[in-house]
Amino acid sequence: MSLLTFGYLIGGLVLLVIGAEGLVRGASKLAARFGISPLIIGLTVVAFGTSAPETAVSIQASLDGSGDIAVGNVIGSNIANILLILGLSALIAPLVVSRQLVRLDVPVMIGAGVLTFALAWNGSVSRLDGCILLAFLLLYTAFLVAASKREKTLARVDESLVQPDTDTAEGPFSWVMQLLLVLLGLALLILGSNLLIEGAVSLARALGLSELVIGLTVVAVGTSMPELATSLLAVYRGERDIAVGNVVGSCIFNLLLVLGAGAVVSADGLSISPNALAFDLPVMLAVSAACLPIFFSGYRINRWEGLLFFGYYAAYTLYLVMFSTGLPAINLLRHAMTWYVLPLTAITLLVIFLRAWKHQR
């Protein structure tokens, strides 16, 4: 590994940490300032901002004709968001899950994944398919904006019943500084992720990995670093609604915005490889669906569930590396995952869901 590559990796990580601090601090203060819940902020402003690297990378890859990187970036980022980011965040501290996520946003995330899989079934995501994805994004965003306005109205009514309306101690225009802090945090996150991706892709290509595997692993994790840094810092600062909402919102934005925009700007749309259709897209749908029973059981993600997520991400990454390099032990790993680990996990999640449903009834 060259000194320049090492510098890109370290510099990118430093900028990510600084940018995440500014983004979480500014977003949480904006939420409090305007009476909007941190969950809505996490699902919109933070999720859109932390998805900016994925958007930039996928659009550039589409323009350059590297469709595998663009598609792998989206699929891999969603898998990393759920398994890696939620897993690590829950290992630090159990995450509280809002009822809105279970009732609305997680089903929307699963629905967006099913829609993407259906559109990609013929082996490509055309420009028309990209427009359909973007149209659904506009509908979802409009619903969240309407929900935030309703929350703001209710918050004003509650405040008027408790105390008279007065200016905050921070001043009437303090929101401008908070907004600038959010924008600065986003800029540092994007710059940091670009540096990290530059170094990581150089390292991966030196190791002989394919473009699809690079997109699914190195680029996906690199562009998910803003989500990772933001969620971990949000957990540390006690803003757990932002941590979970950021991940779910980013997954929705990745499918509807990033993949949709990438397909629209590409001359011939985005081609979907047979490997992605047969393995990676189903894995993405499976981990998205697994969120429902885990989130529904007590509306929290416990540490052991975080460890389960993280373990599955390690196994998924190991499988991709073994598949790309042609290691013979991949058959043993595939057999163990298919016939033992996955069925056992599915049964466990089903039991958890049924117990939670019975308890809530």
> By residue range, what is the domain housing residue 320?
38-152+210-360
What pLDDT score does 165 carry? 45
Q: What is the CATH number of the domain that holds 281?
A: 1.20.1420.30
342: Cβ contacts below 8 Å, ≥ 6 apart: none
Q: Are 85 and 231 in contact (CB under 8 A)?
A: yes
For residue 63, is it within any domain? yes
Phi and psi at residue 270, in whole multiples of 5°? -105, 125
What pLDDT score does 259 carry? 93
For residue 142, is it within any domain? yes
For residue 75, is it within any domain? yes
Give the Cα separation of 200 and 185 in Å (integer).
22
For residue 181, is it within any domain? no
Give the distance, in angstroms, between the CA of residue 172 and the centroid of all CA atoms in the same chain: 34
337: Cβ contacts below 8 Å, ≥ 6 apart: 315, 319
Q: Assign residue 270 a region (left: φ > 0; alpha: ψ between -120 and 50; beta: otherwise).
A: beta
What pLDDT score does 98 carry? 85
Tokens of 165: 């309306």
Q: Are 181 and 22 in contact (CB under 8 A)?
A: yes
What pLDDT score does 21 carry? 73
Number of domains in the chain: 1
For residue 310, is it within any domain? yes
Query: Read out DSSP for 180-203?
Result: HHHHHHHHHHHHHHHHHHHHHHHH
What pLDDT score does 267 carry? 79
268: Cβ contacts below 8 Å, ≥ 6 apart: 124
What pLDDT score does 132 carry? 96
What pLDDT score does 245 carry? 85
Give the distance, in angstroms, between the CA of residue 278 and the centroid of all CA atoms in the same chain: 22
Determine the 3-state secondary structure of 173 from DSSP.
coil
For residue 182, is it within any domain? no
Phi and psi at residue 96, in whole multiples of 5°? -85, 130
For residue 16, is it within any domain? no
Query: Read out DSSP for 250-274?
Result: HHHHIIIIIHHHHHHHSTT-EE--H
- Residues paired with residue 124 on neighbouring β-strands, in sequence order: 271
CA distances from 350 to 301, 330, 346 (A): 16, 28, 6
Tokens of 324: 């790309």
Which of 245, 298, 294, 232 minimizes the C-alpha distance to 101?
A: 245
Please report, in tens digits, the pLDDT of each residue of the chain (361 residues total): 577 877 877 787 678 768 767 776 777 777 667 777 777 777 777 777 777 777 777 777 777 777 777 888 899 889 999 999 999 999 988 888 888 888 889 999 999 999 999 999 998 999 999 999 999 999 998 888 787 777 666 555 554 444 444 444 456 667 788 888 888 887 887 787 677 667 766 766 776 766 667 777 777 777 777 778 878 888 887 877 778 888 998 899 999 998 999 899 887 888 888 888 888 899 999 999 989 888 887 788 989 999 999 999 998 888 887 877 777 777 787 777 777 777 777 887 787 778 778 777 6
Give the Cα separation of 360 and 71 in Å (integer).
39
Q: Are 277 and 73 in contact (CB under 8 A)?
A: no
What pLDDT score does 166 carry? 42
What pLDDT score does 361 carry? 66
What pLDDT score does 167 carry? 43
Give the Cα separation of 317 and 112 in Å (integer).
23
Phi and psi at residue 263, in whole multiples of 5°? -70, -35
For residue 164, is it within any domain? no
- Residues paired with residue 271 on neighbouring β-strands, in sequence order: 124
Tokens of 43: 């699902």
Tokens of 278: 């047969």
What pLDDT score does 216 carry? 77
